[in-house]
Structure 1
Amino acid sequence: MKFKLYIFLFLFSTMIFAQQKTVETSIDTTKNKIGAEFKLTLKTIVSSTAKVEFPKLKNIGPLEVIQSYPIDTVKKDATNYELIKKYGLTQFDSGRYTIPSVKILIDKKPFFSDSIKVEVANVKVDTLQQKMYDIKDISSVDEGMGNWWIYVLIALVIIGIGAFVYWYVKKRQLKKIEEEVYKTPIEKATSLLNNLEKKELVQKGEIKEYYSELTDIARNYIEEAIHIPAMESTTSELITAIREASTKKKMTLTPETVENLERVLRQADLVKFAKSKPLDFEITDDRNKIQKVILTLDNAIPTEVPEDIEDQLLNEAQRQKQIKEQLRKKRNARIGYSIAAVILLLFITTTYFVVTKGFNYVKDNLIGHPSKELLEGEWVKSAYGSPAVLIETPKVLKRMDTEKVLPKETMALIKEMQLFVYGSMIDNFYVTVSTAKFKQPTDIDLAKALEGSLKVMEAQGAQNIIVKQEDFQTNEGIQGVKGYGTMSILNPATKTSTKAYYELLLFKQDQGLQQILILHEEGDTYANEITTRILNSVELQRANN
């Protein structure tokens, strides 16, 4: 619907229509100095029973309301009165501005005043009467380190908080594991195998994680039950150690049991380091082999009858505690070293770029900036509409089907119209190109067309529009009009307002109108570069070509 409204008002504004005015609009002067008062007057004649509501405004378009005068009432005849409302307006920046229409409610029905163009000029200085002074010498500026260290400190605090949260979570996880008490290593291994199946890692496609936990369960059992440093050993070292322990401890192990363990460990190595993907039945078979190997090893360990059961249990508990403490310290040390290395690297890199390039450079290159990506992307040069508008843009403009959005009565006025768009008014960058030809000879006033386009933007959410106007000429000498300035864009979804900068080019050729609109967030340096490059690329096909 917004394109329908856009095109309808766009065409409507290029033509002259006569209609009776319910609200009469006037101003005491159209040219004034900076800070001087423009007195806007609104008059309407209504019956004595009518209820009229004039708006209470702080701003009317780009001008500030410095005085809202009381309503004057003048009796016209026995039944009618003339109501007169005056506003005192001012502007503190030189340029050409448009006072937009104001809505007045008469018996709750809206009526609109006319828009008026005004000009604010700089105050001239009388160099004959005013004493002049020499230009002051260049003042030295303290080129200190500035406030960049604040941003670095904030970044370090954020990194520190993240590292602390990671360390705390890992500590709680390790503590929770350590608090789980199992009577025997086989009970622990069996419980962990059952928990592994409940995680459904295979069903989620996490094969590497599944084999890692599966072999860790087997290695941990071997380390606790047979007293072999299985967690730190390679597959070959572990198999050799099991064979030696079997002989030393007189364990009755068949060659098949050791081969099954080695086969699963080799498979796990391929999965973790060679990205091998076993089939589902192979995974199930490996799990069953590990469970059978653990049970076989547990049965093969000779049972010793201690002389003092309590001393043995105490020694075993101390040994298990020492093993867990060593593992915890190693894991914490690895985590601590990794976090310290990352923090140091980030600190050095961030500090270097902040000092040499500035904080915005670091932010835009590390986090990213949408306008920067457009500027540095692959640009497209193409011709749009008829007569063609040749323009270079960061992205290809998409054609809008005007027949689907224009009403039939509007289509009856035009011979041909084409519209091409990238983005929207609430995006970080917005570009439109449109061309139109009318069926009947039409006296196109580019100034009125500019005013109509701004009204369309107001209908789409633009507020507080500041307008400056000047002549524009392409490299090939085609004359046109350029309107530029700032506005506030209201986002209907978030109800927030953003300050935006726009440039609007209009040309008329062969009973037709060509228009180029560029709009982006104010203060975006990358968008400013994009706008300059687009405007420098504008060329128009002459109508007689």
Structure 2
Amino acid sequence: MKLKFYIFLFLLTSTVFSQQKQVETSVDTTKNKIGAEFKLTLKTVVSSKSKVVFPKLKNIGPLEVIQSYPIDTVKKDGNYELIKKYGLTQFDSGKYTIPSIKILIDKKPYLSDSIKVEVANVKVDTLQQKMYDIKTISNADEGIGNWWKYVLALVIILGIGAFVYWFVKKRQQKKIEEEVYKTPIEKATSLLNNLEQKELVQKGEVKEYYSELTDIARNYIEEAIHIPAMESTTSELIAAIKAASTKKKMTLTPETVENLERVLRQADLVKFAKSKPLDFEITEDRNKIQKVILTLDSAIPTEVPEEIEDQLLNEAQRQKQIQIQLRKKRNARIGYAIATVVFLLTATTTYFVVTKGFTYVKDNLIGHPSKELLEGEWVKSAYGNPAVIIETPKVLKRMDTEKVLPKETMALIKEMQLFVYGSMIDNFYVTVSTTKFKQPTDIDLSKALEGSLKVIEAQGGQNIIVKQEDFQTNEGIQGVKGYGTMSVLNPVTKTSTKAYYELLLFKQDQGLQQIMILHEEGDTYANEITTRILNSVELQRASN
């Protein structure tokens, strides 16, 4: 009988792990509250030419479909993994079975697994609820909860870069005006041309347009005639121009002074009284300002320079030189800003590498799959019969052993259930299995451990190093633990990875309960996951 049992154990596990189902079925929780949503997930891997049809359902058995989620498509090794989720709920407590669902793949029907779920009432009883003291303040867990710190740091760095860009721009703008514009008239003419290129009027920014237009005129008067035009009111400026024209012997017609005053007062109405001139009035005001500036410039007494050719440079050439210098200055500003941001990012990264280590920076900024599992929402559930109660980062998926095991193997057992997350070549792998035999069997856990390791070896495990010791659950149930390292061969890439495993075995009166955990060696996050899983193991006694 023992020989038959070990042969069965080897054939059983080999068959289960070597065959893949066309449609994988899972739920995010097997225990739920009334009215709460839980998700049914159907997953299949097909070729790029296959056509898959998931049914549109309002109800799945006794459960109501409250949400049919879009199909997620993931390209995987030249094929496509299709994932379809249904949001289910039930408003009556009890135990329910999610029936099989028919999925069409290339017009051929395939059935999903049926899964048992439980819906429980929400208990609200404040009289029997124990009262506890307020907990002391605890430090927040590092990781995902601190994402806002990284966002804040990035915003601060970008803000510093923007400030550097603005500061350099302001300084260079002043330098450009000093270097490029040789005379006040040249500066005023260029600024008027630039003002038109901004198209402020077309954008509806009339107030800004008049503000810049009058600033150009006032700035020219201040620089050319030496009148404090920027600080004067309209009346004060007009009076100062009239006085300067007499003092400096400038020939100004009443029309010139009148046009300047009219435009300045129009600008005051726009800026302070929210007046809105018509389009033709705006054009006339712009032309008046240009004419006033040119008239003032020609009326100012000047001496004829010795090299008059320098004053008659081609305007197009001057404008081209201005644009080239502006472009160079702009590129320099951008370069300064980028250099500042890069420096701050490098300094910040270096600080964390020095203080926290490179692994910390890589895992928190780039990401780590095991870290995400560890810090995610864990699920505590019961698997198999007699049940193995265990807490895992993800819900384990049921594999229907009756559909994959040979008839001669099934003839030896009364009941067999297997639940899996991941695979041997993934970053984290968990299996839970329970088996009840038809005939009473005296199980040697050490021999069963050897048989399980041979099955693992047949599935790609190489150079297996094993250590064995006794294991006891929190409730005192005795078992055997095997642990050690191995090399796992990837059948696709033909490469091997060093892995660490732990294997727990418990015997019941007529059955066996088994838990296996496997992950990449040296993965500290996976080590924490393994410890947490093993500490959560609870076993239900088998019933005769």
Normalised to the residue count of structure 1, the TM-score between the two structures is 0.46
TM-score with structure 2 setting the length: 0.46
